[in-house]
């Protein structure tokens, strides 16, 4: 039996939820020296901004009606190899549960259009659809006006906000088909200037080395999505380039943390020791105390491409 072509090109973004989104966004920007992919903007049900890491985006957002305190890794977005229609056929053939694709439009701060396909049964607490991430199309039609009224109700009333909180869930996995637009042009611009940008960063970040996941009951869904029948709770999945997707056994199914690759791990370790900001360290990686970054687990490892960058 022929092996199907892979569905997933790599990791497009990780989404962090934060009640104090302005402070957390500014802290990631200045603490790690990450350039802005798009500035914070209010999309009605979601206020969010994006930061570029060299090989993916960190999106930091706050949702209307979600009154839970704290900051956590909420969502994981994948980039597909094929356009949405063919990608969805691949999901169906693999029996990966998913919501219908939804094309979202943003007018500011950049004109953006993306088609999102929410995946199900991969993390705990996933919603049925990601309709809140942007403004669905529809325009001045009956459907468009109904969606607009629904979103206004959810964003502007107490009952609507409570309803939205129940629909939102506590995690999300989705495939993001980014169409050609100024947002993608901005990412291409950042990618072109990334080497110079990171030289001035405080940690010399070269990209994201890996995203860590805890799995217990949902491993079968990941096997089908990634075409990895050999996948287990201790596996590391490579898309042919970083970031890696790293699985860890546990009691739940959730996003655990993120690890940055850096130019010089020894100097980063020394700097963090001087700041008394290390939770653990060995020759391969260091981890920040979660309370330093609002409860988030963030680590650093040595970039495998550093020697190439210096030649």
Distance CA 118, CA 116 (A): 6
- Which residue has 């637009």 as its token pair? 181
Q: How many CB atoms lie within 10 A of CB 107?
A: 11
Output the pLDDT for position 146.
54
Output the pLDDT for position 277.
82
Q: How many CB atoms lie within 10 A of CB 51?
A: 21
Query: What would the DSSP string read from start to end of 195-233?
Result: HHHHHTSSS-EEEEEEEEEEESS-HHHHHHHHT-TT--T
Output the pLDDT for position 186.
80
Tokens of 227: 């075409």
Distance CA 129, CA 97 (A): 12
Half-sphere exposure of 164 (CA within 13 A, CB side): 26
Output the pLDDT for position 66.
60
**Over the stretch 38-66, which tens digit does the pLDDT of each residue have?**
899 887 677 889 999 999 999 999 877 66
Q: How many CB atoms lie within 10 A of CB 130?
A: 25
Architecture of domain 8-191: Roll (3.10)
Say yes or no: do domains 8-191 and 204-309 share a fold: yes
The CATH number of the domain covering residues in 204-309: 3.10.180.10
Write out residues in the chain with pLDDT < 50, as ranges: 131-138, 143, 307-311
Tokens of 249: 């056994």
Distance CA 232, CA 173 (A): 19
Distance CA 255, CA 236 (A): 14
Distance CA 216, CA 232 (A): 10
- Which residue has 């860590």 as its token pair? 212
Domain boundaries along the sequence of the chain? 8-191, 204-309
Output the pLDDT for position 135.
47
Output the pLDDT for position 169.
73
């Amino acid at each position: 039996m022929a092996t199907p072509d892979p569905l997933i090109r790599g990791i497009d973004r990780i989404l962090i939820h934060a009640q104090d989104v302005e402070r957390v966004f500014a802290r990631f920007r200045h603490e790690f020296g990450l350039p802005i992919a798009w500035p914070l903007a209010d999309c009605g049900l979601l206020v969010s901004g994006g930061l570029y890491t060299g090989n993916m985006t960190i999106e930091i957002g706050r949702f209307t009606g979600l009154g839970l305190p704290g900051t956590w890794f909420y969502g994981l977005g994948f980039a597909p190899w094929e356009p949405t229609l063919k990608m969805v056929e691949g999901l169906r053939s693999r029996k990966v549960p998913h919501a219908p694709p939804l094309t979202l439009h943003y007018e500011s701060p950049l004109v953006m259009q993306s088609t999102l396909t929410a995946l199900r049964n991969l993390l705990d607490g996933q919603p049925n659809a990601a309709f809140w991430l942007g403004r669905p199309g529809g325009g001045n039609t009956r459907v468009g006006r109904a969606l607009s009224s629904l979103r206004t109700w959810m964003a502007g009333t107490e009952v609507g906000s409570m309803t939205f909180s129940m629909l939102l869930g506590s995690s999300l996995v989705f495939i993001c088909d980014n169409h050609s637009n100024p947002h993608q042009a901005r990412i291409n611009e950042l990618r072109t200037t990334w080497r110079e940008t990171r030289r001035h960063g405080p940690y010399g970040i070269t990209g994201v080395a890996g995203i860590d996941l805890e799995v217990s009951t949902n491993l079968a869904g990941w096997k089908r999505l990634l075409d990895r029948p050999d996948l287990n709770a201790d596996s590391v999945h490579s898309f042919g380039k970083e970031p890696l997707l790293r699985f860890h056994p546990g009691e739940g199914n959730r996003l655990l943390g993120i690890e940055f690759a850096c130019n010089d791990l020894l100097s980063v370790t020394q700097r963090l020791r001087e700041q008394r900001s290390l939770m653990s360290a060995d020759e391969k990686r260091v981890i920040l105390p979660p309370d330093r970054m609002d409860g988030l687990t963030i680590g650093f490892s040595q970039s495998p491409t550093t020697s190439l960058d210096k030649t």
